[in-house]
Amino acid sequence: MLLAFDTSSAAVTVALADPVTGATIASSSTVDALRHGELLAPAIAEAMATAGCSPRDLTRIAVGVGPGPFTGLRVGLVTARTMADVLGIEVAGVCSLDILARQSSLGLPVAVATDARRKEIYWSLYDGPAADGSRRRLEGPAVDRPADVAHVLAGLPVIGRGAVLYGEALGLETSDVIEYPSAEVLALGVATGTLQLVAPDPLYLRRPDVTMSGGPKSVLPK
């Protein structure tokens, strides 16, 4: 059984699929930007209960690696790597922007733009789909202010939450309604080899909003 999930956006999306065909057996998706840590484990447990399987039935895990906010990515990747280590199975990472591009049914090149917060977007450009549905990434991923890359995305259908939030700054008249990565598409792409695999490490593109402690500070006057 293939377990797939992505926590790179405001959505927590989980799917259980056939490891060979990628056919979905159970799935769920919840949009809540502040509760990744609370939602992921119960969603995985619910999917397994629906499918009538246990963690020992898993043969592979697929996880979206971002780019995305620090906290959400950490929840997904720590969960994937911990489960894979305990179960002794492989964990495969996939760029979350690639998942979104794979979700588009349009038969032409597309751009993906997701919410990077701080009034910025994560973005990538993709070629038209091949016969198997895969898309080749042409540029990105990168993080920029929407107005700074509007000329790069001009003339392309734009997929993702960034297009919804910053459509005017990007100069979009309309955008694809797809906003968040789908675990079902992640599972399908990994099972069929139509998504590029990467190491299950977080793709931040910029420094997290936290810093490592420099150690205790002296209270004695200098």
Q: Residues 139-176: pLDDT tens digits? A: 999 999 999 999 999 999 999 999 999 999 998 866 55
* Closest residue by Cα to residue 162 from 175, 152, 136, 151: 175
Q: How far apart are CA 129 and CA 136, in angstroms?
A: 8
pLDDT at 210: 46
The answer to whether the predicted template modeling score (pTM) of the entire model surpasses 0.85 is: yes
Q: Cα-flanking dihedrals φ and ψ of residue 140, to 5°?
A: 95, -175
List the beta strands (DSSP E) in 39-105. 60-64, 90-94
What is the token pair recorded at 171?
């100069």
| pLDDT tier for residue 126 given thresholds of 50, 70 and 90 | very high
Number of residues that make up the chain: 222
Asked if the bond preceding 42 is cis, omega within 30° of 0, the reply is: no
The share of the chain scoring above pLDDT 70, in percent, equals: 91
Block residue for tokens 């990105």: 140
Residue 208 has pLDDT above 90, yes or no: no
Given a contact cutoff of 8 angstroms between Cβ atoms, the answer to whether 73 and 201 are in contact is no
Query: What mean pLDDT do residues 177-187 have?
Result: 95
Query: What mean pLDDT do residues 31-51 have?
Result: 95
